[in-house]
Structure 1
Amino acid sequence: MRVIFFGTPQFAVPSLERLLNHPEIEVLGVVTQPDKRRGRGNQLTPSPVKAVAQVHQLPVWQPKRVKKNAETLLQLRQASADVFVVVAYGQILSQEILDMPKLGCINVHGSILPKYRGAAPIQWCLYHGETQTGITTMLMDAGMDTGAMLLKAYTPIELLDNTYQLAHTLANLGADLLVETLLKLERREIQAISQDESQATYAPLIQKPDFCLDWSRPAIELHNQVRG
């Protein structure tokens, strides 16, 4: 199976590494966010996904806006990938991109959909005191995490888990589920299931007001806010 991988942060690294190490999967290249200036020296730093791609000498595309970059779009089309895999990439893909691979675009999402659609599912799951979460793989469509679901994997949330710990758990769980999804998809052993819109909830980006503690709230709610 020929794959192009879209991803940026550390959360996406286990998925990329799992694909690179699988004998039935060929990673043709990586699409990731542009390098950013970080740290005291304000040095231009590659994303964790780019760093892995460079070690494996993979082609890397870093358009500021992938859906507007004609050169990148042409190269993606010419790659003739079977599937695009998207794990915390950080940009919305156009319908043109979604239509390129013959098996579609597969997203690894850090919640049990349709709950916690959006950019910060792990943080909001903790904030709301959930005791279980997981990973959903889905066929992407033009909506925000609204595509048909493929597979799910579950994990408990412990009372002292924080965002970092839960993200680490889910990243590895997602990597395993991704490989299973791709192999079953290629063998036609998987059936996509539409999401129940009546059960959908949302997990938007964390904003500055979300960091403010209201000391009149119950202790458990404050605990959940801090760990999220």
Structure 2
Amino acid sequence: FAYDTRLYRKAGAAAPEPGWTWREWAEVSRKIARLRERSPDGRPVAGANDGGVNEDVFEVWLRSRGGRLYASQTRLGFTEDDLTEFWTLCDELRKEGAAARAEDTSQATSTETSPMGRGLAAADFTWDAPFPGYPALLGDHVHFAPVPTTGGKQGAYFKPSMLLGVGAHTRHPVEAARLVDFLLNDPRAGDVLGFSRSTPPNRTVAARVAKTLKGAERDIYQYARRM
């Protein structure tokens, strides 16, 4: 969860802490909207990006309530009532100006084009891997926090930022396996890749690279270790 600390302070909102709730997130978003801060193009700044179009946000919200996206390979794990409740919350926030407008959300294809990236919102749900793009774009006053919970129950989880695979019918299985092994486990690859794809899965490589980290990337590393 990336957020603008300046706007949070101006709205009288405390920095998000582990265990904060979706209810608190919604209220903070409303407080920021009531500030009527202006974006670079002169429009009011919303409290957050619109999570109603983001499957990841819905999944984390659902998991924090004891649910899940899929019950099996062929069955959904949530009900129509679950989705209705989530979308109703997001729709209310959008109508109140607490969530970004639909026309701005529809243009979001990257950090730079998201409502927060364009100065139209004060916060956004994002994975740790792309988070450094926000302070690089907006300034060091952008920090990150754990996503909201339901009564302290966390819905977030560790997930690879990308997967490496080898084709089942490759003509070069040994060479392909060596390449994957190099990318994952060789310190030389770790030095080159750094944290550009989030925390390296090899803990030895991660600890080695972490010694060189600064700013947002170091914050991400320490956050992952705490979690």
TM-score (norm 2): 0.33
TM-score (norm 1): 0.33
User: 1 or 2, which has the higher helix percentage?
Assistant: 2
1 or 2 for the larger relative contact order (CA 8 Å, sep ≥6)? 2
User: 1 or 2, which has the higher strand percentage?
Assistant: 1
